[in-house]
Amino acid sequence: MITLGLTGSIGMGKSATAKMFEDEGCPVYDADAEVHRLYAEGGAAVAPVGEAFPGVVEDGAVNRAKLSDQLVGKPAELNRLTSIVWPLMGANRRAFLEYADKIKADIVVFDIPKLFETGGERNMDAVVVVSAPADVQRARVLAREGMSEAKLDFILAEQMADEEKRARAHFVVDTSQGFDHARQQVRAIVAELKRPDWRERLAGPGKRAQ
C-alpha cells in the first residue's frame, strides 16, 4: 500500500483535489474533517480545548470562530492547540489504515494541511502539493465568510511558503486552470504511482505532474 501525503496552503484547492483522488479509487483520510468531529458535541477534544482556551465551548462543542480569535497572532497558543488535538487523531488514523488494508487499496491519501510543518512527510511514500498563484489564492480565501486580511496573514505566516512546499513535493497539482485540468493531473499521479518502478522514479523530490 502506497501512502500519499496531500497538502497545500489555504485556498489552494486541496479539498477539491482530495475528492478527485477519492474518485480515482484512493481512500482519503481527511485530517481537517477529523478535527471537526473532535470539536463537535461529544467529541474527545471539547473538554481539553475548552480548559486550555476558556470561552470557546458553546452548547457542548468547540466554536471554531471563537477559537480562531484566540489564536490570531499567538504562535505559541497554536502549538498548544496542536499538542492537544494531534494525539487524539491517532485512533482514527489507525482505523483508516485498517480499512484501506481490508479493501486492498493500492494507494491511500492523507489530506493534511500542515504536513510539512509537522514533519509528517517522513511517514509518506510520496507527497502531492496543491498550488495556485498567490493572487488566486488570496482572492479565494478573502471571499470566505468571516475571513479578514489579518486572519489570512496570520494563517499564511504559520504555514510553510508555497514555493518551498512545491520544491519539496514529488508532485504538484496546479488548480488555477480549472477542475478538468486538475483532474488530469491527479489521474497522471495515480498512473505514475501504479507503475512497478515508481520508487526508483520518485527517488528524490522534483517530480512534477502538470
Do the Cβ atoms of 5 and 115 come closer than 8 Å? Answer: yes
Cell numbers 520508487 correspond to 199
Would you say residue 210 has pLDDT above 50? no
What average pLDDT does this structure show over 15-37?
95
- d(CA 122, CA 199) in angstroms, rounded, equals 15
Q: Write out the three cell numbers for 23.
A: 474518485
196 pLDDT more than 80: yes
Q: Cα separation of 174 and 172, whole Å?
A: 6
* CATH number, domain 1-27+107-210: 3.40.50.300
- What pLDDT is stored for residue 185 in this prediction? 97
Note the pLDDT tens digit of each residue in 58-109: 999 999 889 988 887 787 888 889 889 888 888 788 889 999 999 999 999 9
Whether pLDDT at 208 is above 50: no
**Numbered ranges of CATH 3.40.50.300 in the chain:** 1-27+107-210
**pLDDT of 207 above 70:** no
Q: What's residue 79's pLDDT? A: 84
Rounded Cα distance between 74 and 123, Å, is 28
Cβ-contact 103, 7 below 8 angstroms:
no
Q: Where are the alpha helices (DSSP H) in the chain?
A: 14-23, 31-39, 46-52, 64-71, 75-88, 90-102, 134-142, 149-158, 162-168, 179-193, 198-201
Which pLDDT belongs to residue 74? 80
User: For residue 203, what pLDDT is reported?
Assistant: 65
Q: How much is the average pLDDT of 132-159?
A: 89
Q: Is the pLDDT of residue 206 over 70?
A: no
Summarize pLDDT for 118-131 with one digit per residue, the tens: 888 999 999 999 99
- Tell me the average pLDDT of the chain: 90
pLDDT of residue 174: 96
* pLDDT category of residue 114 using cuts at 50, 70 and 90: confident
Sign of the alpha-carbon torsion through 91, 160, 73, 151: negative
pLDDT of 188: 96
Closest CA relative to residue 107, chosen from 128, 82, 88 = 128
Enter the C-alpha cell of residue 130.
496543491
Q: Which residues contact 67 (CB under 8 A, 6 or more apart)?
A: 49, 53, 56, 81
Q: How many CA atoms lie within 13 A of 77 on its CB side?
A: 14
| Residue 204 pLDDT > 80 | no
Predicted pLDDT at 75: 77
Alpha carbon distance 107, 140 (integer Å): 30
